[in-house]
Structure 1
Amino acid sequence: MTKTPDTAILWLRRDLRLDDNPALVQAMAENERVLPLYIHAPTEEAPWAPGAATHWWLHGSLVALDQALRERGSRLRIATGESLAVLERIAQRTGATRVYWNRLYDPATRARDTHIKLALRARGLRCESSNALLLHEPWEPLTGTGGPYRVFSAYWRKAVLGLDQLTPLPAPIQWRRPPDLDDQESAGIGVDTLDLLPRIRWDQGLAERWQPGETAALAQARRFIDGPLAGYAQGRDLPGKPGTSSLSPHLHFGEIGLRRLLALIRERHGSLAAPAAEVFVRELGWREFAHHLLYHFPHTTAEPLDPRFARFPWHTADAAARLAAWQQGRTGVPLVDAGMRELWHTGWMHNRVRMVVASYLTKNLLLPWQAGAQWFWDTLVDADLAANTLGWQWTAGCGADAAPYFRVFNPIRQGERFDPQGDYVRHWCPELARLPERFIHQPWAAPVAVLRAAAITLGDEYPHPLVDLARSRLEALAAFETIKAT
């Protein structure tokens, strides 16, 4: 009797790369035929289904992955519908007996994947899952008592151990051909059918700023490692300078693996502990910590880690108008407005500015962090549920932080320190471009003659501040006092 070649489904999600892809490597090594499959089922990620900017990036990433597969004699099958039903149908029509995927860790996808694994195994299929997203599984680094960490410094002291020994998996040299699919449904649909791009084309700024895909991710990693990484410790805080990696969306979609990224750093700088590398690697640790927290505290996507903050007295009187002004970059505070406009135009915001705009929303406007997290989720191309949750809770003061409530970022001081010439503000708020450095971060303090010379009338070309920064800070601290002892 002739033995039927083993056929496997490779279920791709946020691991849209060929290099350092454990599920892909295992599937290719163990089977004669491998079907790369992407299933578009955003409702299965509710209530955190991907936002508009995420969809834009996903379109480009799927196109790039399909092209890479075609160059190797394969191609990406794309399907829509309920994931379990699609996998069962494709397995039946191809004779596949195995399904491989890389793990996701968001609460909704974890629950879905567990259900799918049990259901497929009950039907006699072998299911194998791997870790392609993180350096550590989120359940691995634990405290001495066996519990999760809640402070980053303690977590990182343990998690950083052994990173120099991690090595990436190269893309397979020999590619297995996919099984033949005769009917149109099983053969898949085109990326354009998913309707991921906006019908009203607001995405010009995204297209100017970004190039999705694995090839672009590797090129950007090398540019960063060969250049800005050497001055990252200082350059990462300057929003007007190209001092950050710009890798966050590539990492979110799995277009480059962390093991590959660390290997590239070691090749260039010798060690992850080298002065040029240590600070950046520690920032990658925050990404790991975010997934650690979300795994152990899944409720924190909508509820504060510190339960006292469930009773925080948020401002309600004109909340909708305040939120809209913040979203539109019309708060009257230049650094905040510059950040919000950068976000809308490019789908990204400098991390220093993310902290400033989040602090302003929660501690000056006294609006709930959940509203800011939701806006970021829809507008960021690197919208990552774990990182988004950690960032907003940390800034709002209700998350994993040793000294949370009294940290209030002053956007004037932040601007003067990290955008001293006002280059960032002038770029994103061009109506302020003619203001001298002394007033670029606080135009309301400029004399009338200075404003007139800069062609600015507050309330017309640029808005008056929504709130007084000093007074609103005191109001925030007073509000925090009401919940501290409870």
Structure 2
Amino acid sequence: MEKINIFWHRRDLRYTDNVGLYYALDSDEPVLPIFIFDTNILDELEDKSDARVAFIHEQLLELDKSYRNCESGLKVFYGEPLEIYKQIIDEYQVNAVYTNRDYEPYAKERDKKVEEYLKTKNIKFYSFKDQVIFEEGEILTDQGQPYKVYTPYKNKWLEKFHKMKLDHYNSENKLQALWKTTVEPVMTLSDIGIEPASIEIPSETVPDKILENYAEKRDFPAVNGTSRLGIHLRFGTISVREQVQRGDQKSEVWLSELIWREFYMMILAHYPEVVDRAFKSQYDAIPWSNNEDHFQKWCEGKTGYPIVDAGMRELNATGYMHNRVRMVVASFLTKHLLIDWRWGERYFAQKLLDFELASNNGGWQWAAGTGTDAQPYFRVFNPTSQQDKFDKDLKYIKKWVPEYGTSEYPQPIVPHKEARQRAIDTYKEALS
């Protein structure tokens, strides 16, 4: 039986500028690329019509097509990763497994189990940095500690970035090293218990003009002023190195958003407890009111605060919410309604196309005042003044809340002034 190396695609669904794939193809053995639909993840999905899984499936079909053009193919599995590897080792003569690192707690645990199993079979497990410019241990304070505040982290990140040469890994030029074999067609969505989704996926190409005008236009939800690349960065259909280079050339502000992404990944890697608990542990003492009726109205976009309702309806309909509005709706849930940030975080995790654990957790804890470098608890967004500032012509609101201004639109579920004061008093008392 011919010896092969495996390349395991996860959050890197592309064959261009792919670090792990580059090194696999550069090795001495032919390479079989694989993907595993992980039942540990899929079984947790509440909605079986999940646009993200449908998107992954579509990307796998594209990858498979490219690999078949090289007389190979993408072998797709469905199951628990460790069990799948036991099958693979039974079926093939595997020399080594190559993959790109993932920094989420479940992914690290999964990889550790697979690596330990492979070691018992004398099979090497090689992992590479691909989805970030700098990993958690690469940007540290002068005392060797993780940064807890974004601005000094960003300054150190930029200083290091501007001293380095950013490589392009020409994995696309090495596809002749794929294993010449016949693999069965990629399984269908229904094979894995997922239904097709109607939500449209944003394009992975962003005109230069959007980046050049990003700083001026990014805060206005009615304007097409953001990149919408979140889902592509999440699943690695684009190279973060190429995007960072574009940001460096076209928009300092957009580049700083990509650095925020790495900051939150670094926080999650160093402090995995933030998944369930407040980064500032004293904030776990806050007595949330957790009114279920209020939460339901927030989810449905029926709070009586137009910019909050527009954001939630946009999210429910499209899997996307404008970032300025994300801050407003998160502040409203945690401060005005005094509902635990974890409730909102979970709802976003179900709905967002670009859901990424580190950024979602970081953003929610920022809004709730519980996180690293968060807004202070006494800063409570006023939804009305946010609306006046960022949607003064009501274009965004009228698009998503057509009944606004009529008797059909609900009254506010809480009065702003009293809700704001209640939040400040509750936080103050819990933290004293």
TM over 0.5: yes
Provide the aligned length of Structure 1 versus Structure 2. Answer: 428
CA positional deviation for 1:383: 0.7
Question: Which protein shows a greater Rg?
Answer: 1
Give 1:376's aligned residue. Answer: 348
2:71–2:182 Cα contact (<8 Å) kept? no
Question: Which residue of 1 is the match for residue 277 of structure 2?
Answer: 303
The structure 2 residue matched to 1:161, chosen from 151, 159, 162, is 159
**1:58 and 2:40 equivalent?**
no
Instruction: State the SS of the aligned residue for 1:374.
Output: helix
Give the whole-Å Cα distance in 2 for the aligned partners of 1:156 and 1:462: 43
Cα distance in 1 for partners of 2:186, 2:122 equals: 24
Q: Quick check: 254-263 or 58-67, which moved more? A: 58-67
Check conservation: 2:19, 2:128, Cα contact below 8 A.
Answer: yes
Give aligned-pair identity as a percent. Answer: 35
- Match in the other structure for 1:173: 173
The letter of the residue matching 1:429 is V
Alignment of 1:403-422 (within 5 A): 403-422=375-394
Tell me the CA shift for residue 260 of structure 1.
Answer: 1.5
**Do the aligned residues in 1 keep the contact of 2:61 with 2:186 (CA within 8 Å)?**
no
Q: Tell me which residue corresponds to 2:4.
A: 7
Q: Which residue number in structure 2 is paired with residue 244 of structure 1?
A: 226
* Of 250, 254, 275, the match for 2:236: 254
CA distance in 1, matches of 2:251, 2:130: 22
How much does 1:50 deviate?
9.9
CA contact 1:100–1:127 (8 Å) conserved in 2: yes
Question: What is the CA–CA distance in structure 1 between the aligned matches of 2:390 and 2:8, rounded to whole Å?
Answer: 44
Give the match for residue 18 of structure 1: 15
Q: Secondary structure at 2:213's aligned position in 1?
A: helix
8 Å contact 1:6–1:31 — kept in the other structure? no
Q: Is the 8 A contact 2:189 2:195 kept in 1?
A: no
The residue type equivalent to 1:57 in the other structure is: F
Deviation of the 1:80 alpha carbon? 1.4
Post-superposition offset of 1:191: 4.7
Change (3 A) 1:196 1:47: closer
2:307 maps to 1:335 = yes
Partner of 2:263: 289
Matched residue type, 1:312: I
Gaps of 5+ in 1: 266-271, 436-455
Give the residue type in structure 2 aligned to 1:40.
F
Q: Which is worse superposed, 159-168 or 118-127?
A: 159-168
Conserved 8 A contact 2:348-2:355: yes
**CA–CA distance in 1 between the matches of 2:299 and 2:54?**
20
Question: 2 CA distance for matches of 1:158 and 1:45?
Answer: 38
**Paired position in structure 2 for 1:448:** none
Question: Would the alpha carbon gap of residues 291 and 231 (structure 1) be closer, same or farther in structure 2, given more than 3 Å must change?
Answer: same
Instruction: Give the TM-score of the pair, scaled to structure 2.
Output: 0.93
1:181 to partner: Cα distance = 6.2
Tell me the alpha carbon deviations over residues 355-400 of structure 1, each in whole angstroms, 9 at most, x when there is no partner.
0000000000110000000000000111100001100000000001
SS in 2 for 1:127: strand
Q: Unpaired runs of 5+ in structure 2?
A: none
Q: 1:32 to 1:172 in 2, by over 3 A?
A: farther
- CA–CA distance in 2 between the matches of 1:427 and 1:45? 33
Is this contact kept in 1: 2:104–2:357, CA < 8 A? yes
> TM-score by structure 1 length?
0.83
Distance 2:403 2:390 in 1: 20
Aligned to 1:449: none
Quick check: 1:39–1:79 contact (8 Å CA) kept in 2? yes
Instruction: From the superposition, tell whether residues 283 and 50 of structure 1 become closer, same or farther in structure 2 (CA, over 3 Å).
Output: farther
Q: Secondary structure at the match of 2:171?
A: coil
| Aligned-pair Cα RMSD in Å | 2.2
The match for 1:139 is 137
Q: 1:402 to 1:340 in 2, by over 3 A?
A: closer
Which residue identity is paired with 2:23? Q
Question: Which one-letter code corresponds to 1:247 in the other structure?
Answer: L
Q: Indicate the residue corresponding to 1:34 in structure 2.
A: 31
SS in 1 for 2:403: helix
Deviation of residue 101 (structure 1)?
0.6
CA distance in 2: counterparts of 1:358 and 1:72, whole angstroms:
48
Contact 2:73 2:182 in 1 (8 A): no
Shift of 1:5: 5.5
Aligned counterpart for 1:113 among listed residues 101, 111, 117:
111
Residue in 2 that maps onto 1:444: none
Residues 311-460 of structure 1 aligned to structure 2 (within 5 Å):
311-316=285-290, 319-401=291-373, 403-432=375-404, 435=405, 456-457=406-407
CA contact (8 A) 2:301 2:309 kept: yes
1:397-450 Cα shifts (integer Å, max 9, x gaps): 000126521121111111111111111111111122xx5xxxxxxxxxxxxxxx
Task: Provide the C-alpha distance between the structure 1 equivalents of 2:135 and 2:385, rounded to a whole number of angstroms.
Answer: 39
3-state SS, counterpart of residue 386 of structure 1: helix
